[in-house]
Amino acid sequence: MNLLRSTLLALAFAPAAFAQTNPFVDPYIAVRAPVFALTHARVVDGLGHAPLENQTLVLRDGRIAALGADGTVAIPAGAAVQDLAGKTVLPGFVMVHEHLFYSSITKGPFHVNEMEFSFPRLYLAAGVTSARTTGSMEPYTDLQVKKDIDAGRALGPKLHLTAPYFDGEGTGITQLHAVASAAAAERMANYWADEGFTSLKMYQNLPLDIMAAAIKAAHARGLHVTGHIGRVGYREAAEAGIDNLEHGFMAMSDFNAGRKPGDASSPLANYQALEKLDPAGPEINALIRLLVDRHVALTSTLAIFETFTPGRRVASQAELDTLAPPLRESYLTRWAAIQTQNNPLFRAAFARNLQLEAQFFRAGGHLVVGTDPTGYGGCIAGYGNWRAIELLVEAGLTPVEAIQVATSNGAKLLKIDATVGSIEPGKAADLVVVNGDPTKAISDLRKTETVFKDGVGYDTRKILESVKGLVGIQ
């Protein structure tokens, strides 16, 4: 009783700053100052330019106030200064397949659990300062998470929310909703737009006429539309006005043997077609040309497909430690089974898709990147973002290009490139500080130390520690 009384008294007389301490946010803040300077930094601007050495950045009121060679930029009196010799500064990542849920263990149909606590933290810790969610399972939880982050009550990136999936009949996931008609698609597009969602996602078995109605209704409201499609081919979707296609070329049904328009989605048939496809042939190059001409962005999600491909890495110890024990066990069991089965089709499809994503990028395509933390697990928010970027380099992009895809290309897709996605004076101070040189070794991204969002620096290690054992639960 006495203790309670004295605590209440202490709170009553505490200075305002102390009273406002938020236990979910403040312990993870490494740097918060109205004016802050970073010196001796290597800067990768996110626009594809060669890195600049020995740079000074001045951050003021959440924005980049100045950038230039050391000694040429005045450091304001009273500014806190951090020496970044040997370190690299990148723009905060803008990644676009960042669900707020993770696959659960189930003996029934595929099921996911909302990760409203751990995933936003993991995304931010890895350097993701803006994220599109690309399909919602708990729309009102997603809305609340965004509200809490924006109000400074929770850690996480600036979220760009995608409404619940627009699917057709036959996908077999109980948590998905089959949209029955064009009129229903229009009604739902308007409903979710009213609720605050800024994009829609078309799913594997949605028919073309309903998809076209959803796209039309979404565009009328200023929303953009992406799709992990299947019943509809890439060409049909592009011609219907879709803005973005998910999963590189892995969800492409256009060249499936014997396919008739309207056939149900068949990932297996997609992979078989990819294995046979000639990347130099006229069919795929005509399709790439169409996507480029119509400005359809393509989202690379190599980190999730890698988990299904035999002969690829197992999750690191840090990733395994992040998973709740039952999820860790189910992931490792399934990973081992994939090695034993050693299915050559997955190897071939994965390799072909790597090649085609780079081909799309080289042809001038708008390539963007995301993690898609689903499947049977093992692709975890945060760590998966680093892996997705590493795999773009394996696909043949330079590290600087891969960083561009993960930053300014994402920002252009979300139409936020006027304020984020590159390191330029006037833009938001959304920055990733890496203790290494990812332009030489992209895996140095794993040496991220501090992530700035709107000028506030967050401690990556502390955040990663805070969610150990939680992924799969919350």
Mark the segment that binds Zn ion (CB under 5 A) among 5-13, 25-33, 115-123, 365-373: 365-373
User: Which residues from 287-326 bind Zn ion, rule CB under 5 A?
Assistant: none
The answer to whether 98 contacts Zn ion (rule: CB under 5 A) is no
Residue 371 φ/ψ, nearest 5 degrees: -100, -45
Q: How far is the CB of 51 from Zn ion (least distance, A)?
A: 32
Q: How far is the CB of 184 from Zn ion (least distance, A)?
A: 22
Closer of 372 and 444 to Zn ion (Cβ):
372
Mark the segment that binds Zn ion (CB under 5 A) among 117-125, 212-220, 322-330, 364-372: 364-372
Number of H helices, E strands in the chain: 17, 19
Q: How far is the CB of 344 from Zn ion (least distance, A)?
A: 26
Closer of 96 and 393 to Zn ion (Cβ):
96
**Are 299 and 368 within 8 A, CB to CB?**
yes
Residue of 235, 164, 259, 169 whose CA lies nearest to 202:
164
Instruction: Look at strands 128-132 and 158-160 and give their pairing.
Output: parallel
CA distances 276 to 178, 263, 295, 333, 353, Å, are: 32, 20, 27, 31, 12
**Are 382 and 125 within 8 A, CB to CB?**
yes
Tell me which amino acid residue 440 is. Answer: K
Tell me which amino acid residue 456 is. Answer: V
Number of chain residues interacting with Zn ion (CB under 5 A): 2
User: Which residues from 119-148 bind Zn ion, rule CB under 5 A?
Assistant: 135
Closer of 135 and 164 to Zn ion (Cβ):
135
Closer of 135 and 156 to Zn ion (Cβ):
135
Closer of 45 and 167 to Zn ion (Cβ):
167
Q: How far apart are the C-alpha atoms of 299 and 243, rounded to whole Å?
A: 11
Q: How far is the CB of 99 from Zn ion (least distance, A)?
A: 6
Residue 111 φ/ψ, nearest 5 degrees: -145, 145
The answer to whether 167 contacts Zn ion (rule: CB under 5 A) is no
Q: How far is the CB of 302 from Zn ion (least distance, A)?
A: 13
Q: How far is the CB of 260 from Zn ion (least distance, A)?
A: 26
Residues 6+ apart with CB under 8 A from 461: 449
Ranked by CB distance to Zn ion, the top (closest) residue is: 372
The answer to whether 372 contacts Zn ion (rule: CB under 5 A) is yes
Residue of 279, 430, 302, 305 whose CA lies nearest to 367:
302
**Which residues are at the interface with Zn ion (CB under 5 A)?**
135, 372
